[in-house]
A and B are shown apart, each in its own frame.
Chain A
């Protein structure tokens, strides 16, 4: 599936919920299905800066696609990174670089998009895209 299709699917899933509590509960559930980072990659170098909780992300190229794994010591943050990885993992680096992130707003997590917000959603997106840029260079 293309990034846009996955994002549309996520937006549709979230549209079923009436209030923030249900959305958060779903996000927490999504966190539980996050493809977990291998322990050996849980290093300080792989921590995303700008988050109040710790978030580790690892990227690996499989063929021409980038596979992300991650983890966090906070449950909500784990849910947020799980949503991002679902949208961006197993995609071509060039597509990740180009991808829009407006769906975050549409699933009612707009408040997390503020760059001053302590959870660092913006830093997470930036880091995923930086990996894509790095691997794109390698592919070229």
Chain B
């Protein structure tokens, strides 16, 4: 029996969970289409944040008192929720971080002690700056060489070139699961498998994928995977680094401080076991707990329903926007999520974004922290509309009308 998953999302009902969606901007109802940057937070998650500060705010792991124990339990429960969601083998393979950038830096920093001159690191052509700069810094420190997996005009990685680039010198491969600027879903299963054949480790940046697809750590057999909570209806400033236990044991700690030690004397420090080895200092306790609540919230809606609903929104929006003369969409991969990067011939993305803002429509403009992609297309940037399961076709209509209005005003 065919089930219409689009009908399973009652966006009007879901929208009531998000207080911010009922506010106005510049005198117009907010149309929030910047979800790839930050998703909004439902009341269920806000309640968890308030509950933490109202009822059990305390430092974790060290206290003998009841509040500390309660906070520790909730924090560790959140870790287990996240472990189960991403199907990691062990809870201590989930490291709480401040977000994807922090997660990537832990790995990049850790690998400086493993790499030597002449080793190679492969990075995809469609990376976010946060997945380029740490590796460039790593190469500067170690003498390793950074090589780029090219892409085609549609915004798809050239897998033949990837295979040619993979050699015994390749020690690490980095790629995003989904491109933030183009929405392309990359064939990470293939990327991971082929990298492993030459003995290279793989880090997948899952920041853009986590709101749309559930990455299965064990099935993917990925070495490292990173996620930011603020892209999955959670708070800002918290995220995760998944790492295979064997890798996390091998990597040196990133920061020194409290919580990450086993024993300290002035002569020597021995490090704590996983995951605490990578969680120096007081963590974002409330953030971690709320991250867990956000994962619960999204699972209650259901990722199959979310994917199906967002796909229909994407198709509807693509069709609507392409009706506008002179509008070009960047990123037309066969496999893509609900992100549309576009420009109008003769107009700067900043101009379009400014007019849309006046109409209450929030989009991102600029290079989306992915300048190499903009250089590839030889454009200064794009307007990016990114859709979430709480967006509606009516909002897509408002976007399309807004773009037309901007075009009329500007051209």
User: Which A residues are within 8 Å of any B CB, using their own CB?
Assistant: 20-21, 24-25, 28, 52-54, 73-77, 118-119
Contact = CB atoms under 8 A, between A and B. Distances in A.
B409 A21 contact: yes
A52 B347 contact: no
B347 A75 contact: yes
Nearest to A73: B348
A53 B410 CA distance: 15
B365 A52 contact: yes
A56 to B, nearest CB: 14
B350 A24 contact: no
A69 B354 CA distance: 24
Q: Which of B351, B380, B410 has the most CB of A within 10 A?
A: B351
Contacts of B409: 21, 24-25, 28
A73 B365 CA distance: 14
B355 A24 contact: yes
User: Which has the most chain B C-beta neighbours within 10 Å: A21, A28, A76?
Assistant: A76
Contacts of B347: 75
Interface centre among A21, A25, A74, A118 (most CB of B within 10 A): A74
Contacts, number: 41
A76 B350 contact: yes
Q: How large is the interface on B (under 10, 10 to 19, 20 to 34, 35 or more residues)?
A: 10 to 19
Contacts of A73: 348, 380
B358 interface: yes
B350 A74 contact: yes
A88 B403 CA distance: 34
B26 interface: yes
A54 B380 CA distance: 9
Contacts of B381: 52
Contacts of A119: 350, 354
Nearest to A23: B358
A53 B380 CA distance: 8
Nearest to A25: B409
Given A25-B409, A53-B351, A76-B350, 5 more contacts: A52-B350, A53-B350, A76-B354, A77-B348, A119-B350
Nearest to A74: B348
Contacts of A28: 409-410
B237 interface: no
A23 B124 CA distance: 44
A75 B410 CA distance: 7
Closest 8 CB pairs of A and B: A74-B348, A53-B350, A74-B350, A52-B350, A75-B351, A74-B351, A76-B351, A75-B410
16 contacts: A24-B358, A24-B409, A25-B409, A28-B409, A52-B365, A52-B366, A54-B380, A74-B348, A74-B350, A75-B348, A76-B354, A76-B355, A77-B350, A118-B350, A118-B365, A119-B350
A20 B357 CA distance: 11
B374 to A, nearest CB: 12
Contacts of B410: 28, 75-76
Nearest to B347: A75
Contacts of A53: 348, 350-351, 380
A118 B380 CA distance: 14
Contacts of B354: 76, 119
B408 to A, nearest CB: 10
A118 to B, nearest CB: 7
Contacts of A76: 350-351, 354-355, 410
Contact of A20 (B26, B348, B351, B365): B26
Nearest to B354: A76
Nearest to B410: A75
Interface string B338-363: 00000000011011001100100000
